[in-house]
Amino acid sequence: MKQLIRIAQLTDMHIGETDEDVYGSPVRMQFLSALNKLKKQNLDALILSGDLAANAGEYNSYVWIKEQLKELTCPIYICLGNHDRLENLKQVFNLNLENCHEDDYYFKTKIKEHLCLFLDTSPYFLSNQQMEWLKQQSIENKEEILLFMHHPPLYCGCTFMDEKYPLKNISDVWSVIKELKNVNYIFCGHYHTERTIIKDGKNVFLTPSTMAQFDNQTSEITILHRNPSWRIIEWDGETLRTSVEYFFLFTSL
C-alpha cells in the first residue's frame, strides 16, 4: 500500500476583477471562507478545477486568486474551465510551458507516489490529442490513476446543465474513458452541484462550487443556495474516501 494522500478540490469560484458580487454572490468572500478552512488542514495538494474567473479569464481575477493562495504550503494544480483563458493563466501563475500543447493545457503529476492526470475542457470540447494522450497514459502506467477535468465526461441527470452546457463531444469522450481500466475515479466541477455517478464501473464525482449551487431538476438555472463548498479526497492507491464540505454563510438566498 502506498502513502495516504489528502487532496482538496475547489471549483467554479467565478472570481471577478473587483469586490463586487458576481451573479448575485459575494464570490471573493465565499472563496476566502472556503480557503481559510482548507488552510487549517494538512493537505498534500489543492486542485482548482476550472472557472477560476468570473466570465472570460479576467487577468486581475487571477492576480487576486494568486495573492490569496500564497500562504498555502502544498502544491497547487489548475484545470481550465470554460470561463478561463490560458494566456492570462500562464502569465499570472507561471504555468509550465511544457504542459501547454497548442491551445490545450493538460499534464500529469505525481502527488507523493500517486499519478494524477489533468485535462483541458475549456472550449466545451476534449480534443482528439488529449484523448490519445489519455489512452497512452493509461497504457504506460499500470497503477490506478486519478483524473481531474472541469466538465463531466457523461450526462449526470442534472436537467439544466445536461441540456444546455455539456461537453460537445461527450459521447466520444466517454467511449474513451470507459475503456481505461486504471482510470476509475474522475473528479469534475462545472455543474455547481454535489453528485456521484457510477457508470461502466467508473465513479464520476461532481464537486459543488464556492459561488452557488444549482437545482438539478429544473430546466432553467435555479440557485438552491450560495454556501461555498469543496471536496476532500483521501487516497492510498487502493481505497478512496471522498466527501464534500460546506461553509454555511447563508440560511437562504
The three-state DSSP-derived secondary structure of the chain is CCCCEEEEEECCCCECCCCCCECCECHHHHHHHHHHHHHCCCCCEEEEECCCECCCCCHHHHHHHHHHHCCCCCCEEEECCCCCCHHHHHHHHCCCHHHEECCEECEEEEECCEEEEECCCCCCCCCHHHHHHHHHHHHHCCCCEEEECCCCCCCCCCHHHHHHCCCCCHHHHHHHHCCCCCEEEEEECCCCCCEEEEECCEEEEECCCCCCEECCCCCCCCEEECCCEEEEEEECCCCEEEEEEECCCCCCC
* Domain-located, residue 119: yes
Cell of 61: 481575477
pTM of the prediction?
0.97
Here the CATH number for the domain that contains residue 34 is: 3.60.21.10
The string of pLDDT tens digits covering residues 8-66 is 999 999 999 999 999 899 999 999 999 999 999 999 999 999 999 999 999 999 999 99
What pLDDT is recorded for position 102? Answer: 87
Domain count, the chain: 1
* Domain-located, residue 253: no
* Domain-located, residue 142: yes
* Domain-located, residue 251: no
* Domain-located, residue 239: yes
* Domain-located, residue 252: no
The string of pLDDT tens digits covering residues 168-180 is 999 999 999 999 9
pLDDT band at 2 (very low <50, low <70, confident <90, very high): confident
Q: Which domain holds residue 160?
A: 5-246
* Domain-located, residue 23: yes
* Domain-located, residue 35: yes
What pLDDT is recorded for position 22? Answer: 93
